[in-house]
Structure 1
Amino acid sequence: MKSDVEDLMPRLLPFEFGDNKEDLDLNGPPRNPQEYLRQVQLEASLCPEVVVAQIDPKKLTKKQTVNVNVPGCQAAPLGFSPSLRWQQQQVSNFSDVRQRITKNRQHWSSQTLDENVQMPKLTDEEGWKRFCLGQRVCIDSSSAHTDAGPELELDYLKVGFPPFLSIVSRLNQSTVLTVLDILISWFEERDFVPQLGHWLYALLACLEKPLIPEAHSSIRQLARRCAQLRSTLESLEDDRLAALNLLICLVARYFEQNDLADQQESTDS
């Protein structure tokens, strides 16, 4: 039987063995390459030709299911979602912005930053919040939605640094995604402010395609949060509406998260 098995094994290593098999000890370490190969061959010949798994039928009676919940966006209140034509125009504009950033990234990243622009370290979450949104928003969220007075417009430490091209062009993909996650997490628990919208748009414009899984998850989270907040708006005149619609549109239409897209509202009465 063993010889039959040995004959069926491919001879990839054509070593010649002697007839003395009694000296081989399968429990001991091989003393040379030939002995090692012979041990492997003999071990294989001792394996049964057919192996039958012993399965307990009782363990097969319970069905195992995996529930995967991938929620979409909350539907907009009637009249609050944008038209398909508007969405297509925003995607076209956004594509143009991305192309300009890519084309001129080297030029803008070489521009000298002002002395007061101190970009936080990658791991400084609170630092990035203050840098993008300003101390005024981070410290006093209750006044975040009010307009800054003229005396504060150029005090970037208080109102946040805008996403200047000279700044965002310096961010690599790891930093873009990290800052995006930080701002989305902040937005999950707070209201929408203009500074947030500016930065989210700029970071999305710097996000490379195809998306890595982490980016895919983050932008979907952003769109769902925008839709959730939009569902609470009471007036079409709310200045947050256009920004929320824009972010949902870009995530769904440009980054091809089609299940999150606003659909054309029916004109039927």
Structure 2
Amino acid sequence: MKSDAEELMPRLLPVDSCDTEEYTLTEPPRNPQEYLRFVQREASLCPDVVVAQIDPKKLKKQSVNVSITGCLAAPEGFSPSFKWQQQQVSRFSEVRQSVNKHRQHWKAQFLDDNVVMPKTEDEDGWKRFCFGENVCLEIQLKEEDGVNPGLDYVKTGFPPFLSIVSKLSQSTVSAVLEYLINWFEERDFVPQLGRWLYALLACLEKPLLPEAHSLIRQLARRCSAVRANLESKDDDRLSALNLMICIVARYFEQNDLADKE
């Protein structure tokens, strides 16, 4: 009688069992038939079900921290309307389509000699590249420095030109996004941060990888925390903070983080 395993998994290489020539398992197979009989015999000696004996004392305790908290509610009058959020999502979608359309063109263009992009793993280099020395070193601008602030990119940071972001791979986009969000966790919102976050989100491909999914949720929560401490609706940071929350929640479908009217 065939075993249950044989009924479910018929033999693909049947072995002639009527071979009169004796063969011992202690000797190496001399031909294909002996080899197949050897394998068949070994398989018949294996139990159908094997249970591993694990000593619980040898297992290391492991814990995984998963944050499921949402955004902090906006102070009264600080939350954007649903119509405004729809408009921003529509505009952001158009920007993403434009980036994808022109990516190959700009990717083939040469950068200026003064634009030296850091390596993906160079976290400090990317912070200086995006923010500039003034922000990274917390240097206060003098009044005369504000006449042409965009000319010295080493001090003010390079804007996220399409010619630059088009050259970033998805792994680099995720890495730089992580660097900037981690920087934002300990510091205030600055214009350079807003520009780069918007550009990187526009380059982030869907569907999101788990790491990117976690990062953008971290970003929205941080924006809501900064917004909750604003003292005036006229604060220049409010619109940018609302925009970041809106993009994460509405465009990337993290609906539990969205601002409600």
TM surpasses 0.5: yes
2:37 corresponds to which letter in structure 1? R
Distance 2:144 2:41 in 1: 83
1:151 deviates by 4.4
2:171 corresponds to which letter in structure 1? S
1:205 deviates by 0.9
Distance 2:97 2:135 in 1: 32
Q: Which residue of 1 aligns with 2:57?
A: none
Q: Which residue of 1 aligns with 2:214?
A: 217
CA contact (8 A) 1:131 1:161 kept: yes
Q: Which moved more, 1:114-123 or 1:124-133?
A: 114-123
Q: Which moved more, 1:212-221 or 1:196-205?
A: 212-221
Query: Of 82, 91, 108, which aligns to 2:106?
Result: 108
Distance 1:29 1:210 in 2: 54
Q: Which residue of 1 aligns with 2:15?
A: 15
Structure 2 residue ranges without an equivalent (≥5): 54-62
Q: Which moved more, 1:4-13 or 1:122-131?
A: 4-13
Structure 1 residue ranges without an equivalent (≥5): 56-64, 265-269
Q: Which moved more, 1:114-123 or 1:37-46?
A: 37-46
Helix, strand or coil at the partner of 1:82:
coil
Q: Which residue of 2 aligns with 1:231?
A: 228
CA contact (8 A) 2:15 2:37 kept: no
2:14 corresponds to which letter in structure 1? P
1:215 deviates by 1.4
Distance 2:85 2:41 in 1: 71
1:147 deviates by 11
Distance 1:7 1:173 in 2: 49
Normalising by structure 1, what TM-score?
A: 0.80
Helix, strand or coil at the partner of 2:259:
coil
1:194 corresponds to which letter in structure 2? P
Render the CA deviation track for 1:169-195: whole Å, top value 9, x for unaligned. Answer: 222222211111111111111111000
RMSD, aligned CA: 3.0
1:67 deviates by 7.9
1:106 deviates by 2.6
1:54 deviates by 11
Normalising by structure 2, what TM-score?
A: 0.83
Distance 1:199 1:159 in 2: 13
2:135 corresponds to which letter in structure 1? V
Q: Which moved more, 1:28-37 or 1:77-86?
A: 28-37
Q: Which residue of 1 aligns with 2:35?
A: 36
1:113 deviates by 2.6
CA contact (8 A) 1:24 1:35 kept: no
1:108 corresponds to which letter in structure 2? W
2:200 corresponds to which letter in structure 1? L
Q: Which residue of 2 aligns with 1:132?
A: 130
Is the alpha carbon distance of 1:54 and 1:226 closer, same or farther for their aligned partners in structure 2, counting shifts above 3 Å?
A: closer
Distance 1:228 1:130 in 2: 25
Helix, strand or coil at the partner of 1:162:
coil
Render the CA deviation track for 1:51-77: whole Å, top value 9, x for unaligned. Answer: 79799xxxxxxxxx9885422111111
1:129 corresponds to which letter in structure 2? K
Is the alpha carbon distance of 1:47 and 1:197 closer, same or farther for their aligned partners in structure 2, counting shifts above 3 Å?
A: closer
1:139 corresponds to which letter in structure 2? L
Q: Which residue of 1 aligns with 2:85?
A: 87
**Map 1:180-219 → 2, pairs under 5 A:** 180-219=177-216
Q: Which residue of 2 aligns with 1:172?
A: 169
2:208 corresponds to which letter in structure 1? L
1:17 deviates by 3.0
1:88 deviates by 0.4
CA contact (8 A) 1:177 1:215 kept: yes
CA contact (8 A) 2:23 2:34 kept: no
Is the alpha carbon distance of 1:125 and 1:88 closer, same or farther for their aligned partners in structure 2, counting shifts above 3 Å?
A: same
Helix, strand or coil at the partner of 1:256:
coil
Helix, strand or coil at the partner of 1:152:
coil
Is the alpha carbon distance of 1:52 and 1:135 closer, same or farther for their aligned partners in structure 2, counting shifts above 3 Å?
A: closer
Distance 1:232 1:66 in 2: 30
Question: What is the number of residues matched between the two proteins?
Answer: 248
